[in-house]
Amino acid sequence: MAEWIKACEADDVDEEDVIRFDHVGRTFAIYRSPADEYFATDGLCTHEQVHLADGLVMDDIIECPKHNGRFNYKTGVAKGAPVCVNLKVYPVKVEAGSVMIQID
């Protein structure tokens, strides 16, 4: 059953950046876009299981730190080699300064 959990404080993520969030054996990436919106995806690249939180956020794109694979972190869509499999994305809301993500 889907539940909302607190991932971090809104201020924990710099604008156009990403941080890692671990929760009961799972790892997620929490993004803050240049337009000050928040997004969440699975934390590991679908190519080689590398933490995306060490990567680079450029506009709507997160680039994996290992092989430069790119995803649209808003939709999870893989943007070409060497990533072929989309990222899973999660609903996000900000409540009272906290970033909440809905996971199943």
Which residue ranges make up the site for another protein (CB under 8 A)?
17, 47-49, 54-56, 58, 63, 65-68, 70, 81-82, 84
By beta-carbon proximity to another protein, the closer residue of 13 and 101 is 13
Rounded CA separation 34/39 (Å): 12
Smallest distance, another protein to C-beta of residue 9, A: 16
By beta-carbon proximity to another protein, the closer residue of 12 and 98 is 12
By beta-carbon proximity to another protein, the closer residue of 23 and 84 is 84
Smallest distance, another protein to C-beta of residue 33, A: 15
Q: Which amino acid is at 47?
A: H
Rounded CA separation 53/89 (Å): 14
Extended beta strands in 3-97, E state: 3-9, 17-23, 26-32, 38-42, 56-58, 61-63, 70-72, 89-90, 92-95
Smallest distance, another protein to C-beta of residue 42, A: 17
